[in-house]
Amino acid sequence: MLTSRFIVVFAVFACTSAVLAQTTLDWPVGETMPYSRDSGVRPNPSRTSQTVFEETVQVNGAGWLRLYFSQAELEPGSFLRLTSLWDKQVQELDINELAMWGFSSAYFNGDAVKLELVAAPGTMQNRIVLREVAYEIGSAIPREDPCGICNGDDRVPSFEDFAGRLLPAGCSATVWTEGSSLVTAGHCVAGNDIIQFRVPPSNPNCSINHPPVEDQFPVTETIYANGGPGNDWAVMTTGTNNLGETAYERYGDLRPISTGIGSIGDYLCVWGYGLDIYECERSQVQQTSCGTINGVSHDRYTYDVDTTYGNSGSSAFRDDEIIAIVTHCGCPTNIGTRMDLPLFKAAREDLGLGGYCYGVGDECEGRISSVTVGNINATTSGCPMYVDQTHLTTTMILEEDYPITVEADHTLGNERCTVWVDWDGDIELEGGNEKYVLSGGPTTFTGTITPPANAAFGPTRMRIRLHYNSNGQSCGTYDGEVEDYTIIVADPNAPNNDYCDDAVWIGDGSHAVSNISSTTDGPTETGTCSHLQNDVWYRILASCTGTVTVDICDANFDVAVAVYKGTCPNEPGHAIACDDAGCPSGVGAKVTFDSTINHIYFIRVGGYDGAQGTANMIISCDEPSSCPADLTGDDQVNIDDIFAVLGLWGDCDDPCPPYCAGDMTEDCTVNIDDIFSILGQWGPCE
| Cβ-based burial of 297 (10 A; exposed 0-12, middle 13-18, buried ≥19) | exposed
**10-19, 37-46, 490-499: least confidently modelled range:** 10-19
Average pLDDT over residues 427-431: 78
**DSSP annotation of 451:** -
Q: Stretch 423-450: mean pLDDT, rounded?
A: 88
The secondary structure element, H or E, covering residue 504 is: strand 504-505
Q: What is the largest CA-CA distance in the chain?
A: 79
Torsion, Cα 51 57 62 64, to 10 degrees, reads -40
Do 367 and 409 contact (CB within 8 A), yes or no? yes
68-72, 119-123, 676-680: the lowest-pLDDT one = 676-680
Grade residue 488 by pLDDT with cuts at 50, 70 and 90: confident
**CA-CA distance, 231 to 257, in Å (whole number)?**
17
CB atoms within 10 A of CB 453: 9
Q: Are the C-beta atoms of 108 and 86 separated by less than 8 Å?
A: yes
Q: Does residue 7 surpass a pLDDT of 70? A: no
pLDDT-based confidence at residue 673 (cuts at 50, 70, 90): confident
Q: What is the pLDDT of residue 566?
A: 87
Specify whether the backbone of 228 is left (phi greater than 0), alpha (psi in -120 to 50) or beta. Answer: left
Strands 267-272 and 315-318: antiparallel
Average pLDDT over residues 45-54: 95
Residues of the chain with pLDDT > 90, as a percent, come to 49
| Distance between first and last Cα of the chain | 27
Burial class (CB within 10 angstroms; exposed 0-12, middle 13-18, buried 19+) of 549: middle
Q: Which residues contact 14 (CB under 8 A, 6 or more apart)?
A: none
pLDDT at residue 572, as a whole number: 85
d(CA 80, CA 68): 13
pTM of the model: 0.54
Q: Is the separation of the CB atoms in 405 and 373 below 8 Å?
A: yes
Is 424's pLDDT higher than 70? Answer: yes
Distance between CA atoms of residues 640 and 540, nearest Å: 38
Q: Report the distance separating Cα 104 and Cα 376, nearest Å.
A: 29
Phi and psi (nearest 5°) for 257? -80, 135
